[in-house]
Chains A and B, each alone.
Chain A
Amino acid sequence: QKEVEQNSGPLSVPEGAIASLNCTYSDRGSQSFFWYRQYSGKSPELIMFIYSNGDKEDGRFTAQLNKASQYVSLLIRDSQPSDSATYLCAVNPSNQFYFGTGTSLTVIP
């Protein structure tokens, strides 16, 4: 069983819609959860991190964490074409980091 699972997509949403990205993880000891965005040919860049159950909002982005269900999600409101990228979920249950394979998002103008 993989440590972190994501739907690979591709996920397509129209401009202005809400994009919902999901991630599940296997290690219940995980304490920190991260969402990274990666444009094609570029390095990952951090969008959000969340440590506590519930929601965390930052601009158009909301991360949601449910430790009981071992589930973390990212909502992107008012999606823009510039949001088209691959989104990586990451957890670090100890001192190691585990990444999902990423979900490819396309925002259609």
Chain B
Amino acid sequence: EAQVTQNPRYLITVTGKKLTVTCSQNMNHEYMSWYRQDPGLGLRQIYYSMNVEVTDKGDVPEGYKVSRKEKRNFPLILESPSPNQTSLYFCASSGQQGNYEQYFGPGTRLTVT
């Protein structure tokens, strides 16, 4: 089954404790992306990757890091989480370098206390 998976689905952590949210897709897609979704602000792109070893900042990259060492994986790293990073996070992937539809993962609900 073609899918985008994210782990963990739910995470409660404390300020400053480094964490990684994993994202993996099995569709051989070149384009992968991370979003956060907040009430009233909608989906905002954090980082995206056009292909392996190519990553670029989206609209809200501050406080986040990503890497793309393999085509299928695109982890999101919060090195020192803060309460304002409490949000719902989605990973997405797309073929054709983003020119076509994105497929979204199930989401990760992160709470930073």
Contact = CB atoms under 8 A, between A and B. Distances in A.
A45 B43 CA distance: 13
Nearest to B98: A95
B90 A43 contact: yes
A32 B59 CA distance: 18
A44 interface: yes
B43 A99 contact: yes
Tell me what chain A mostly uses at the interface: helix, strand, loop, or mixed: loop
Interface in A77-109: 88, 90, 92, 95-102
Given A92-B98, A96-B58, A97-B98, A44 B48 contact: no
Interface stretch (B63-71, B72-80, B100-108): B100-108
Given A95-B50, A96-B58, A44 B100 contact: no
A71 interface: no
Contact of A96 (B48, B100, B103, B107): B48
Contacts of B33: 97
B101 A49 contact: yes
Interface residues of B, number: 26
Interface string B84-109: 00000010000001111111111100
A46 B101 contact: yes
Contacts of B104: 43-45
A34 B90 CA distance: 17
Contacts of B44: 99
A102 B43 CA distance: 9
B42 A32 contact: no
A101 B41 contact: yes
Interface string B18-40: 00000000000001010100001
A34 B98 CA distance: 12
Contact of B45 (A44, A49, A88, A98): A98
Interface of B: 31, 33, 35, 40-45, 48, 50, 56, 58-59, 90, 97-107
User: Which A-B residue pairs are the 10 nearest by beta carbons?
Assistant: A101-B42, A43-B104, A99-B43, A46-B101, A99-B42, A44-B104, A43-B107, A95-B98, A97-B45, A43-B106
